Each structure stands twice: as structure tokens, then as C-alpha cells.
Amino acid sequence: MTGPTLVFLHALGASAKEWDRVVEHLPHRACVALDLPGFGDAADAGYADVAAMADWLAAEIRSRHLIACVLVGHSMGGKIVTLVAARAAAGEIGLSGVLGVVLVAASPPAPEPMDEDRRAEMIGWFADRSPTRDDAVTFVDANTATPLAGEARDHAIADVLRSSREAWLGWLERGSREDWRAVAGRVPIPALILAGAEDGDLGAEAQRRLNLPHYTTAELRVVEGAAHLIPYEQPQVLAGLIDGHAAMVEPAALPARFARLLDSARVSHRTRAAMVDRLHPPSSDLSSWTDDHVATMAALVGQILPDCGADRALADRILAGIADGPGDGWRFAALPADRAAWTRGLATLAAFDGGFATAPGTAQAALLERIDAGEIGIADDDSKLTAEQMRLWFEDVRAETARVWMSLPATMAAIGYDGFANGGDGPRKQGYTRTAADDLETWQRPVEQSS
């Protein structure tokens, strides 16, 4: 098993079994499919409201010590996944390992769109009696593009019949109608949002309107040959999409010891939130930077930090910080404001030798040496920088690149930095009691040394 653990939450009237055929196509992934309270083997738990289900999922992640995971939520489960992802992004203890989200025909944080006559019909199945097999068949068939067959159909029908009456009614009458948009906010954790091509209320249009806006980095995909029960209808296709998203977010995973420290009580929720944000693509709008800007910045990263190479993700983060405008509180008097200086500096670089980004590495290095010596610039052009301005700007670029790189949790883990873990959310901060060189405290030692 490699990479982040996949944690699956099912839909209304389903159970962990709805993921069986999906998991079969993910033999190389660690997978955990859960029964939500009131469904499947947890039917006796009765109804848990939205807040309680979110608390329950957060507790499951903590109790399983998941230092790297992707949350996969189908329909009802999708609403719970988004709320827990928002809590992870806000720095809640024990959740910083949530690296990605996959929403499968997901209920949104907003009240779920649903035909009211159909809602009334489904409520009626459980309101005064136990549902019949015909009721369950009607529910399953109404949510598939073509009728399921064999074992998959039997499982889907059986799960409806064993659902808790309180949980079924609680979701349809209350949970699906609750509005959690303000709490969900905008989540920086990357999301893959999936819609069945033949889904009705929760199809692509609803996903685009109700779920997509809650994620700063998200992709919406349509699954052909499926309506609402995608895990049953297209398990192999769904598994491939989930696997691809897990592979995409996997590089954000942190070494186990560092991840456990980040999730410990020694770290405040504000610090943890800032560091979790740095695990993911920047949430700032990069539309003001062109592809040439980003390519040039990535090439600069490759020269300033050779071990990183032309890292476009780091280039994005650096430029996002410049675009946001807060800066570091100072600038060279000979340079314009940061946003203008960087735009003009990148343009000056791009104007030489057919473009800096596409030049051989040796040529890039030689040009930067001449810039550092104050020999390269373009005078009498308000869209470029003079030689002296380029020298100063390149000094600023080196400092900003190193600063942003050093702020990344992956860099901190690589160099063994733990200074962020000097105080949690309590009234008294733990700080340090041992400050001499090479005198480590128990919490700083590798696990094998602290036993």
C-alpha cells in the first residue's frame, strides 16, 4: 500500500458496501470505507445530524492516525466531507493529513436541490411503516442510468431496507435542508468533483453551482453512463479518477514524524492552518500573471535553488504572494512597488536571447551573473527595468524565493526544523526548556530515541 489512505463515505440509504467494486480496482491503495451512523452495520446508531456526522468523521480520522488521506464522499457523504475538509484547512488538530477531496454526485453545503414530490414520496416509505422491497427498488432504479444487475443490485436494495428509519427521515427532513455555506467557506484543499451524466438534481450544473465555489483548486468531471449511483454504475472509471487525484495530491504528504508533530497540541490552530495552506496550490488568483511570467519565474527558481529545478508550483506560490500585495514591508527606493517591479523584471528577462525560460541552463546562469554585476537592463522603457534596477530586483527575487521555499512544511521537514511547535491553543505556551546546542527535548527526538 502506498500513498494517502482513501476514506470513503456513502450516500443516503447505502453503506460501506457501495464502494466494494471501486476498491477492487484500487489494489495498490490503502482504503477505508465507513458506515455513516444510521446506515449499514451502524444502522442501530440512529440519526446523527450534519454536525454530529462531521464530528464523527473527524474523530475517525484522528483515531486511525491518518497522517495522509483523501476523503471521498458520495451524495450525503459529500456534504460531510466538505465540512471536515474546511475544518482541516482551518487548522483543527488531528486533521492536517487531509490532502485531497473527491466529491461523487455530492450533496452541497447549501440545502440540497431535490424535487419536493420525490422527497415526500421517500419520506412516506419510512414515515409510518418499514419500507417494502418495491420501495427500495424504486429508489435504486430512479438513481441509475440503467438498472443495476446481480450482486450490485442486491446490495443496493438491501442497504435501503436496513437503513435506520430515524437516519433516513432525519436526512430528508432536516440534514439535506441545512445551510452550511458560511461554515464551509473556501477550502484550499484540492478537490475532484464528479457528476453523473444522467443525474438529475445533483448533476454537473448543480455541482458547478453549489460545490465548485467552495474549493479554491477544483476540477469538475462528468462520468458518462451513470446517473447518481456512480460507485455501482461505473466502478472502474470512478476508481481511475480517484486514483489519479490521489496521485496528484500525494506529493503534499509529509514525513510521518513531522506530520504527527504538526498535528500535536504543541501547534496552535492558526499556525497549523497556515502550514496546511502551504501544502496545497496557492489560493490567490494568478490570472494577472501570464504563462511566460510563470515559466520565467520557474526557470529563476531552478537557478536560485538548483535542487528544486524549474518548480512551477513554487513559482506559482511566489507570484501569488507578489500579486496579493502585502509584501515584506520594504523595497529598494530605486524600484517601483513590488507588483510593478516583478512584472517589469520578468519582462526584461524575457526580452533577452529569445526568452530566459527557454534558454539552456548555462546561458541562464551566465545572464544572471551579468545581472548581478549590474550589466544587464533596458533603459528608457517604462515596461522594463534598467541595469541598476535589475541588479536590485534580482537581489529581491533571491531573497523572496528563499523565504517562500523555507516557509514550506516540506522544507521544514527536510531540514529538521520544529520551531513552529512552540505553543498550542492553551493559556500557557509550552515553549522550550532546553536551549543548549544539541540538547534535544523529549518531544524533539526521533521516536526510537524517546521510548
User: pLDDT digit string (tens) for 93-105?
Assistant: 999 999 999 999 9
User: Is 334 part of a structural domain of the chain?
Assistant: yes
CA angle 226, 227, 233 (to 5 degrees): 45
| pLDDT at residue 450 tops 50 | no
d(CA 418, CA 443): 10
User: Is 365 part of a structural domain of the chain?
Assistant: yes
Same domain, 111 and 202: yes
User: Is 184 part of a structural domain of the chain?
Assistant: yes
Helix (H) or strand (E) holding 85: helix 76-89
d(CA 230, CA 263): 34
Contacts of 182 (CB under 8 A, 6+ apart): none
pLDDT of res. 1: 45
158 compared with 439, residue with greater pLDDT: 158
- What is the total residue count of the chain? 451
**67 in Cβ contact with 254 (< 8 Å):** yes
Identify the CATH number of the domain in which residue 244 sits: 3.40.50.1820
| pLDDT at residue 32 tops 90 | yes
| pLDDT at residue 30 tops 70 | yes
Q: Nine-digit cell at 202?
A: 445533483
User: pLDDT digit string (tens) for 250-285?
Assistant: 999 999 999 999 999 999 999 999 999 999 988 777
Same domain, 163 and 30: yes
pLDDT of res. 282: 85
Q: Nine-digit cell at 332?
A: 529598494
| pLDDT at residue 433 tops 50 | yes
Closest CA to 122 of 145, 148, 143, 108: 143
User: Is 93 part of a structural domain of the chain?
Assistant: yes
Concatenating the DSSP letter of every residue in 292-347 gives HHHHHHHHHHHHHSGGG-S-HHHHHHHHHHHHH---SS---TTS--HHHHHHHHHH
d(CA 44, CA 331): 64
Same domain, 243 and 292: no
Task: Decide: helix, strand or coil at residue 65.
Answer: coil
pLDDT of res. 427: 80
Same domain, 213 and 117: yes
The DSSP code for 67 is S
Q: For residue 2, what pLDDT band results from cuts at 50, 70 and 90?
A: low
Q: For residue 417, what pLDDT band results from cuts at 50, 70 and 90?
A: very high
pLDDT of res. 439: 86
3 compared with 220, residue with greater pLDDT: 220
Residues of the domain holding 334: 286-406
Q: For residue 448, what pLDDT band results from cuts at 50, 70 and 90?
A: very low
Helices (H) and strands (E) in the chain, counts: 19, 6
How many beta carbons lie within 10 A of that of residue 334, not counting itself?
13
**Tally of structural domains, the chain:** 2
Same domain, 128 and 11: yes
User: pLDDT digit string (tens) for 287-346?
Assistant: 889 999 999 999 999 999 998 888 899 999 999 989 876 667 788 999 999 999 999 999
Q: Look up the pTM and report it.
A: 0.91
d(CA 451, CA 447): 7
| pLDDT at residue 118 tops 50 | yes
User: Is 330 part of a structural domain of the chain?
Assistant: yes
Same domain, 248 and 375: no
User: Is 428 part of a structural domain of the chain?
Assistant: no
List, edge to edge, every strand of the sheet that includes 191-196: 31-34, 5-9, 69-74, 98-104, 191-196, 218-223
Q: Nine-digit cell at 87?
A: 475544518
| pLDDT at residue 449 tops 60 | no
Q: For residue 238, what pLDDT band results from cuts at 50, 70 and 90?
A: very high
Positive/negative CA dihedral, 230, 234, 238, 239: positive
